[in-house]
Structure 1
Amino acid sequence: MDPATDGHAAAAADTGASPAKRLKPSPAPTQPQQQPPPPQQHQQHQQPMAGVAGGYHLEGGVVSEAVMATAPQLGASYQAAKPYHHCVMHDIFEPGLLRGVRDEIINNIDATYKETDLFKVFQTGDLGNLDSLDPAAAAKLPCLNRLKKALYSDEFRAFVTSVTGCGDLSPRTDCSCNVYAHGCHLLCHDDVIANRRVSYIIYLTDPDDPWVPEDGGALELYPQLKGQEHTPAPDPSLTHLPTFNTMAMFTVTPGRGAGGREGWDVAMEYLPEDDDTEEGEGGAEGEAEAEAAEEEAEEEGAVKAAGGDE
C-alpha cells in the first residue's frame, strides 16, 4: 500500500517525446571555429521505473508529523509487543487524502477475484506500476499515487527503519490493494516473501460507518505453542480491528521459526453482507537482498515487480 489491474507489472511508460527533426548538415567550415562553451547542465530528478520506485521525497501533509515524531516511543513498544514485534499506528495519514484513496480504489481500479486454500479476496495489481501509467489513467488516481510515493519515500522508509530496527530498506515498491467482500478471508499465515523485511497493512474501511467487533475482519496475532517452534497456538493472543486510517506493521525475519517470526497472523472472515472493506498492504525489502534479487532476475532476462502480501 496496480491500476489497469491485470496483476502483471507494466513496462515503464514511454516518455511521449516526439522524435527530433532531421536537419541538413552544415557545410564544413573553411577554418577552425571557436566552439562556445557547453551550456550548464541542470540535473533533473528522474522518475523511477515501474516496480523500482524510490527516490521520492515525503510530501508535506500526507503523513502525520505528530505520529512520525513518536518514532522512539513506537520503537520501544514495537520491541516489547507480543506475540511478536509489531505496532498499530492510528490516524497516521491525512484523513481527506485517505478518503480520496478509498474512493479511487472503489471507482477507478479493477480488482481480480483470487481464491486459494489460504485466501479468498479481490486484489489489484502491483502499485509499482503507477509511475508508468499514461496521463489519462494517472489523472484518475492522484490520491493513491501520493500515498504510494509517501510510503516509499526516503523519509518514511527511514521512519520505518527507526521504529522496527530492521536495517536499511530498498526503495522498491511492493504493495497492492485488497478488497474483502462478504465472506472473503485471509487465513493464518506468515509473511516471508522473497526479500521482504517489513510487512504493513493500511485499513481503508468506511470512515462514516465505523467498524465494530461484530463485523468480523479483525487482524489476529497468534503466538507459538510452547515447545513447538513451528506450530501456532489455536487461539489468538491479540486482535486489532480494521479501523479506518490505521497502519499495522511488523518485521519479517526469514529463518527464524516457522515462517520467520515467533508468531502468525490471520485476517478473520468479513461478515457484513452489504459492506466491503478495502486495505492496502505490502512490504519493504532489505536493500542488499533487493539488489541481489534484481541482479538474478536480470540474468534470467527480466526484472519483475514484487507483488503484495500474497
Structure 2
Amino acid sequence: MGFFLETVFGGLMAGMLYALVALGFVLIFKASGVFNFAQGAMVLFAALAMARFSEWFPVWFGFESLLLANTLALIASAACMVAVAWLVERLALRGLVNQPAITLLMATLGFSYFLDGAGQLLFGSATYKIDVGLPKDPMFVLEGTFPGGLLLNKEDLYSAVIAAALVAVLTLFFQKTRTGRALRAVADDHQAAQSIGIPLARIWVVVWSVGGIVALVAGIIWGSKLGVQFSISLVALKAFPVVILGGLTSVPGAIVGGLIIGVGEKLSEIYLGPSVGGGIENWFAYVLALGFLLARPQGLFGDKIIDRV
C-alpha cells in the first residue's frame, strides 16, 4: 500500500507540472480563440532567459547574492515574455483578425520556430541550470502509518504548491476581474467585442503576456528539475493530451486532466509496464486522449459542442 501511494503522489506531482504547461494553451485559447503551438517554445525561451540572466547579472553588477540575482533575472525574464506578447500581437495577430482558425494556428507554429531560433541566438544552445532554492532532498511522511513512511520529493511538492497557487490566482482573474471578462468576450466573438469598445489589440497583449508568465513559471520549475535544454520544448507535447482530456476552454480542466494523466501514466508504467516490456509512460497520455476524442471531443470540462442546422 505504501508503494502504491508513493506512485500516486509522484503522479500527482508530475501531473501538476503537465497542467502548468497545459494552462498556457488553455489561457490563450480561452481568451483569443487561438490554439498556441508556440507554447512549448515560450516555455523554453523563458527558461533560457531566466537561466542566463541569473548567470549574467552577478557578473555585470558585481554582487554575489543568489536571491538578488534570481529576483532580477525573474523580473527581466518576465519583461522578455511581455515583449514577446507585444511582438506576437504586432507582427502576427493584428493582421489576422477574423481570419479562419487554421490561419491563426499556422501563425503560432511559425512563431514557435522563430522563438526557438531567437532563444539560441540570444542565450546560447548549451545546457544551463536554474537554481531558485527549491529543496531537492527527499522526505519521509506518515512514518507512523506505514513501515518506513512514504518517500516524497520536496522539489516536486513545492512545485505542485506553486502551480496550484498560480492556477487559483488565474481562475480568480478570469472570473472576477473586468479584464478577465473582456478576455472571454474576445474569445467568443472578435467583431462583437470590438463593437462594444473592447480594445482587441490590448486584450491580446494582456492574454499573451499572462501566457508568457505561465510559461516562465513552468520553465523555471522544469529547468530546476531537468536543466535548461532544448528538449524542454517537447514537454508541451505532453500538454496536448492534457488539454484534450480537460477541455480547451477550462482552467480547472487543465488541472484535472494533468492530474489524471500524471497518475495514470505512473501507475500504468509500474503495474502494467513489466507485462508489456515497459514504455507505457511514453504513450499512455496519447492513447487516453485518443479515446476522449472519440467519446467526448470537448473534454471533461470543455464547452459542449452544439451544431445547429
| Greater RCO structure (CA 8 Å; 6+ sep) | 2
Question: TM-score scaled to structure 1, two decimals?
Answer: 0.30
Larger helix share, 1 or 2:
2
Greater C-alpha radius of gyration? 1
**1 or 2, which has the higher strand percentage?**
1
Q: TM-score, normalised by structure 2?
A: 0.30
